[in-house]
Amino acid sequence: EMYEISEKFFKWCLDYAEGLREGIFAHKYFPNGRIAGDFDLGLEENDLKGEKKKFVRNYLNAKIFYVQFQPDQLGSLLWSLHEHSKFRDIEEFKELVEILANGICKYWKRCCFSIPSFDIWEENVALPKYKQIHTYSIAACIKGLECALEIIKTKNKAWKRTLMQMKRILEKCYNEDFGYFVRTFGKSIDATIDSSLFSLVWPWEQFKADDIRIVKTVEKILAENQSNEGICRYKGDNYDGKIKVLELEKGVGGYWPILDYWASIYFCLRSEKEQAIKHFNRGNEKAKNGYLPEQTIDKNPASAIPLAWSHAMFIVANNFIIDTFNDVADA
């Protein structure tokens, strides 16, 4: 059954994921559960030649291994466990729920995380010295803690206290002067309009789709990040998936199918069928031979293809359209 795939993953997290019991769910792992840092080369300098050898010599003594703390991943996994609980008993995974919720609380200090945290795109860092948080990340953690409290039915004071503090901070992420939710809030604000903030409506469900703050934010996303080809992550994105000598080569970022599917879900929640179908179909247009890529550039697939995230969002958006409008035969 499909459910068993998720359960195997939950069990892998519980039994093998290095660092998880300490509150760190790393951004990548080896299959055996060991954290895979971007500079964890596993190579000797003598094994390499030419430019790669120069690369290793420059970094070997400085930065072999690092772990990105992405708190949204803790929240995302809690959300997925809660979704799973709607169909299957998850008694055996309640320990995992506690580990994840405790992990969120462990590094949270009243108004921000006590260690640097990366955003959904694994690029931008929120620094505790500036009391920064990423809007997407904190919304994911709030939803995660809400899910944990529903699953465990506990009076855990730390979970509830962290939840309330995070909710107060999230409200501040909407900037009246800019007229939208900023990407990063704190003493130093990153006012980039980021397309991941569709998530405030779904799946994190912190605001209704017709909340005027959300409406303004979505209008800004579509005004700044949309073209005829689709929706990009944010203005000035330079990730196009190309890698040169173990480093990402800066280019010009493209248009991501997941963002059109996210927009489609948002417009379903607004009961705006025409817009929902438009974005859904535009996401589908990015497929090649039945596979959806991470992004397209000049209407051609770029970087990873197929990308599981893109295919998952296709399924979710399709289900939203069917559930909201009953059928799409006339679309």
If you average pLDDT over residues 106-113, what whole number do you get? Answer: 95
Q: For 231-260, what is the mean pLDDT? A: 83
Q: What percent of the chain has pLDDT over 90?
A: 75
Return mean pLDDT, the chain. Answer: 89
* Tens digit of each residue's pLDDT (9 = 90 or more) over 87-106: 999 999 999 999 999 999 99
pLDDT grade for 249, boundaries at 50, 70 and 90: low
Encode pLDDT of 8-63 as tens digits. Answer: 999 999 999 998 998 889 888 999 998 876 544 444 545 455 555 554 455 443 33
Residue % of the chain over a pLDDT of 70: 87
List the domain boundaries for the chain.
1-27+67-209, 226-331
Global confidence as pTM: 0.89
Res 290 pLDDT > 70: yes
Question: Tens of pLDDT along 162-178?
Answer: 999 999 999 999 999 99
pLDDT of 46: 54
HEC string of the chain equals CHHHHHHHHHHHHHHHCCCHHHCCCCCCECCCCCECCCCCCCCCHHHCCHHHHHHHHHHHCCCCCCCCCCHHHHHHHHHHHHHHHCCCCCHHHHHHHHHHHHHHHHCEECCEECCCEECCCCCCEECHHHCCEEHHHHHHHHHHHHHHHHHHCCCCHHHHHHHHHHHHHHHHCEECCCCEECCEECCCCECCCCHHHHHHCCCCCCCCCCCHHHHHHHHHHHHHHECCCCECCCCCCCCCCCEECCEECCCCCCECHHHHHHHHHHHHHCCCHHHHHHHHHHHHCCCECCECCCEEECCEEECCCCCHHHHHHHHHHHHHHHHHHCCCCCC
Residue 121's pLDDT band, with cuts at 50, 70 and 90, is very high
